[in-house]
């Protein structure tokens, strides 16, 4: 029997570690507000187990969110991929259809929306800390918002060559720097983006940098992270990982509902408010 799309009601976020993921809370809040009778869980999963897990999914499944370390691992397992997946080399969204697995990337859109929500509609230069799949998405988002100069701080610079190629293919000048290089050299960028876990950010920034450059910290556990707090201490501008989480997730919900992120949802603004209320205390959402 062919399963109708309307019958597919099971969704989940996959990754490792996954215990503290906020995705179930925000997706469930959105589904309730939108009137979708869908279930959304969290599944602890590594790349080695991903092929078997995907192969065992039945017609009850509608879609998946993917986080560390699966965004790149899933790409060769897809039957179809949005061009953006090929560009950044990773998918964070999978839709199950009768024709197979369809992959999408909503991190780029989520990052752009987060910048715009913070009042940054144009970037000149950025520093990106980290060189993984999320860094690639933030690189594309930054270039699409106008950044033409990008410095990438990587613990293993030899592994960041693909990011240089990606940025240069989009028209940006990209420099790969050693993680321990002093981040105080050169001009102050429009934004500093950290894509590393909150507890692993060990670079220190001068007050003049923290006061002038917007910090986009994709981490949200713990929040505020130490680096975000250092920005707040001097009145610097901070974009929270909660912003990226919610903005990429609402794009996922669009895809799960209509197969594209281009179609806004009815009551979308209410759904976003419900998502934020599910994970933030009153007054927490402030771009400082």
Catalogue the active-site residues: 71
Taking the C-alpha atoms of residue 11 and residue 64, their distance in angstroms, rounded to an integer, is 6
Taking the C-alpha atoms of residue 189 and residue 87, their distance in angstroms, rounded to an integer, is 24
| Of the candidates 132, 148, 119, 250, the residue with the CA atom closest to the CA atom of residue 194 | 132
Taking the C-alpha atoms of residue 36 and residue 172, their distance in angstroms, rounded to an integer, is 41
According to DSSP, the β-strands at 100-104 and 93-97 are antiparallel
Asked if 126 and 142 touch (Cβ cutoff 8 Å), the reply is: yes
Taking the C-alpha atoms of residue 176 and residue 231, their distance in angstroms, rounded to an integer, is 24
Kindly list the distances between the CA atom of residue 184 and the CA atoms of 98, 181, 207, 208, 212, in Å, as whole numbers in the listed order. Answer: 53, 9, 10, 9, 13
What's the residue count for the chain? Answer: 288
Q: Which residues contact 207 (CB under 8 A, 6 or more apart)?
A: 234
H helix or E strand, kind and range, residue 53: helix 50-55
Q: Is the sign of the CA dihedral 152, 47, 30, 88 positive or negative?
A: positive
Asked if 217 and 225 touch (Cβ cutoff 8 Å), the reply is: yes
Asked if 68 and 20 touch (Cβ cutoff 8 Å), the reply is: no
């Amino acid at each position: 029997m062919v399963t109708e799309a309307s019958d597919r009601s099971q969704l989940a976020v996959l990754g490792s570690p996954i215990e503290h993921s906020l995705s179930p809370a925000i997706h469930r809040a959105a589904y309730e507000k939108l009137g979708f009778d869908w279930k959304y869980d969290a599944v602890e999963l590594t790349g080695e187990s991903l092929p078997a897990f995907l192969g065992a999914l039945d017609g009850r499944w509608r879609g998946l969110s993917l986080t560390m370390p699966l965004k790149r691992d899933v790409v060769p397992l897809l039957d179809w991929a949005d061009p953006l997946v090929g560009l950044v080399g990773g998918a964070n969204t999978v839709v199950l259809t009768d024709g197979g697995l369809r992959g999408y990337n909503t991190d780029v859109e989520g990052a752009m929306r987060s910048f715009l929500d913070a009042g940054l509609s144009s970037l000149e230069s950025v520093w990106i800390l980290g060189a993984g799949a999320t860094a690639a998405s933030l690189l594309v988002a930054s270039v699409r918002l106008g950044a033409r100069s990008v410095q990438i701080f990587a613990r293993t610079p030899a592994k960041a060559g693909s990011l240089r190629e990606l940025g240069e293919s989009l028209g940006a000048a990209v420099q790969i720097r050693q993680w321990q290089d002093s981040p105080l050299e050169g001009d102050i960028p429009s934004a500093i983006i950290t894509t590393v876990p909150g507890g692993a950010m060990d670079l220190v920034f001068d007050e003049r940098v923290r006061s002038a450059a917007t910090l986009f910290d994709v981490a949200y556990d713990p929040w505020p992270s130490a680096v975000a707090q250092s920005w707040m201490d001097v009145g610097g501008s901070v974009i929270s990982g909660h912003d990226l989480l919610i903005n990429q997730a609402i794009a996922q919900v669009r895809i799960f509902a209509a197969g594209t992120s281009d179609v806004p949802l009815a009551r979308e603004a209410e759904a976003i408010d419900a998502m934020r209320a599910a994970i933030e205390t009153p007054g927490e959402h402030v771009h400082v």
